[in-house]
Structure 1
Amino acid sequence: MKWDDIKLFLAVVEQGSLSAAARELKLGQPTLSRRIGELESLIGEALFIRQTQGVTLTSAGEKLLPAAQRMAEWANEATQSLSKQKQQLSGKIKIAAPPGVALDFVVPLAQTLQQHHPQLRIEVLAGIETLNLSRGEADISLRTRAPTDDDLICLDQIKAPMRILASSAYIKQLPDSYTLDDLDWICWSDSHQELQMVQELKKQVKQFNPVFTSNDFNIQMAACRAGLGVMLLAKVPPIFPHLNQLHELNIAHGFSSEAELFVVCHKRHRHLPKVAIVLEAISAQFALARRQMA
């Protein structure tokens, strides 16, 4: 199917009749009717029910309409991006990310993007739930697991080893010799027991019984900074400033797994200019982080 024919189809849908669409497109009605007929022949089904007062969509037309509207969106974005005059990127981009990543990575990223694209609006959806990109719940997802949906693509990723962190006050009160079982653990609440980090702690720490739990990562971090206990966290680079307030324990822990963060996007959105510019900025920060961890 040619985009020019899809534009004619959308015009008829929007105007409600062949005659009104022909006037809008500045085409003769016989020409428009012929072109629509050729599109219907190509598809193998009628797209419109012709009536005296206009047209209505058939079931085939209803099926075609969402894809045609997306094609119009892509065409509009492509026209803007290829314009000789510099276009100001605008609109909202929804980024889903775990709470710590949202706080220390996405917020500074949004600040940088705003300096270069002031009309771009960033909406951060912080949480550990995996949002559905196919349904438009987010445009970009920073998630801890690789996508399994064929319509989603992983555009970048970063890995980091695990380490145990605590406040300086907590470390000072530790004995000269201690084991994992002697530490006061801060962890996720019972509603999040399926998380990889919780499972790793249960495997490595005998009779694992955390001293403090929360379903909010930032609450856990506050408890750790206050000296209530220790946390198992990824060894991330200095671009995550809230971790600079904590210190790594010098202890052999045996945690073998690595923390991973994937940049995920839907195939049909990755080349939209406003999405592409955010993906480019994320990849640049990931590249910086990898150099700092090397």
Structure 2
Amino acid sequence: MGTSSLARPSLPRWEHAGPGTECVPGDSTFKQRQRGETRWRLARTPCPSSLGLKCVASPWCYPFMDIPWEDVRLFLAVAETGSLSSAARKLRIGQPTVSRRLAALEYTLGMALFRRGVDGLRHKKPAQEGLTVVKSFSIESAAFASKTLAARLPRKPRLAGIPWLAFAPPMDTLPPNPQLEQLIPGFTPVFTSDNYLVLAAAAEAGMGALPMPVMRHAFAGPSQLVPLPVELGPYKRLTYHLVCAKSALDIPRVRLLADLFVSEMEAAIAAVA
């Protein structure tokens, strides 16, 4: 990606939309005073609606939590791989497209998200302020199918002989698609959707098999799915990340939900360990 200098945007003005809070712009932060407390935030991170703050004079105030999913995927792919070419292969799009979309994202946010060097791209502190991995989970996976479908398959089915369900674009770079493509030459799913709940419902209806985590949590509904006797090889255990905007974690209801999700996942994983 060619180097180009981004004009530094003017900082946003903030005003309080309700009593009890005052916000003062700074060089890269604004100070928030509420009930005698002082906290600092990045100037271009989303203002917490729960505190009644609103941006009144800057197009550069683009909430990270409102970034389109496609741009979040691109950011994470570049951060994970460290290069535009590797990110392009991971996302299965052209490198010029990755370069153009990353430049557009940085322009929208008004900041450079990565430091370019001979050893690749490294995300800078502003990017770290934008997104954070709240928790990572290593979870065992298995291929699940309805009892009806499982009864129709051979006792020891081959991976290539199973009707698979998988994600449709733009979610097709997420598991299980890349893993099944590595395990099955010419992998072609019988049904795709960009919605996980739709895929789970299709599995329940007997349309195909779906790799899923081997765990049951308190929020899971009733299920008739059973694990198939197949090996997923090196992809039997995958790592899942709970990713959230750092600024969003300052919102009590978001933090409460994130903590609840983490505690429930840890309990469910421990139950099958």
Normalised-by-shorter TM-score class: 0.5 to 0.7
Partner of 1:238: 217
| Correspondence 1:213 to 2:192 | yes
Which blocks of at least 5 consecutive residues in structure 2 are unaligned? 1-13, 16-23, 38-48, 52-61, 80-122
| Correspondence 1:64 to 2:12 | no
Cα drift, residue 167 of structure 1: 0.3
Alpha-carbon distance in 2 for matches of 1:179, 1:78: 65
Asked if the contact 2:64/2:245 (under 8 Å) is kept, the reply is no
Aligned residue runs from structure 1 range 169-208, under 5 A: 169-208=148-187
Cα 1:134–1:252 change in 2 (3 A) is same
Alpha-carbon distance in 1 for matches of 2:159, 2:230: 8
**Which residue identity is paired with 2:224?**
Q
Alpha-carbon distance in 1 for matches of 2:210, 2:35: 45
Cα drift, residue 255 of structure 1: 4.3
Corresponding residue SS for 1:200: helix
Cα drift, residue 202 of structure 1: 0.9
**Which residue identity is paired with 1:252?**
E
Aligned residue runs from structure 1 range 73-84, under 5 A: 75-76=33-34
Aligned residue runs from structure 1 range 271-290, under 5 A: 271-290=250-269
Which blocks of at least 5 consecutive residues in structure 1 are unaligned? 1-12, 15-61, 80-90, 94-132
Alpha-carbon distance in 2 for matches of 1:192, 1:268: 25
Asked if the contact 2:139/2:214 (under 8 Å) is kept, the reply is yes
**Which residue identity is paired with 1:171?**
A
| Correspondence 1:250 to 2:212 | no
Alpha-carbon distance in 2 for matches of 1:191, 1:150: 24
| Correspondence 1:150 to 2:108 | no
Compute the TM-score of the two structures, normalised by the length of structure 1: 0.49
Relative contact order (C-alpha < 8 Å, sep 6+): which is higher?
1
Cα 1:155–1:167 change in 2 (3 A) is same
Alpha-carbon distance in 2 for matches of 1:92, 1:244: 37
Corresponding residue SS for 1:150: helix
- Please say which of residues 164-173 and 223-232 is displaced more in the overlay: 223-232
Alpha-carbon distance in 2 for matches of 1:226, 1:205: 24
Asked if the contact 2:50/2:251 (under 8 Å) is kept, the reply is no
Asked if the contact 2:156/2:230 (under 8 Å) is kept, the reply is no
1:182-241 CA distance string (max 9 Å, x none) = 111111225443224211101101331211122222222222111111112222333352
Alpha-carbon distance in 2 for matches of 1:214, 1:270: 30
Cα drift, residue 134 of structure 1: 5.4
Cα 1:281–1:78 change in 2 (3 A) is farther
Partner of 2:88: none
**Which residue identity is paired with 1:168?**
K
Query: Taking every aligned residue pair, what percent have the same amino acid on both sides?
Result: 19
Alpha-carbon distance in 2 for matches of 1:282, 1:77: 30
Asked if the contact 1:77/1:273 (under 8 Å) is kept, the reply is no
- Please say which of residues 216-225 and 260-269 is displaced more in the overlay: 260-269
Alpha-carbon distance in 2 for matches of 1:231, 1:154: 26
Partner of 2:46: none
Cα 1:258–1:240 change in 2 (3 A) is farther
Cα drift, residue 287 of structure 1: 2.8
CA RMSD of aligned residues (A): 3.8
Asked if the contact 2:146/2:225 (under 8 Å) is kept, the reply is yes
Greater helix content: 1
Compute the TM-score of the two structures, normalised by the length of structure 2: 0.53
1:30-80 CA distance string (max 9 Å, x none) = xxxxxxxxxxxxxxxxxxxxxxxxxxxxxxxx9638833xx22xx32775x
Alpha-carbon distance in 1 for matches of 2:149, 2:35: 53
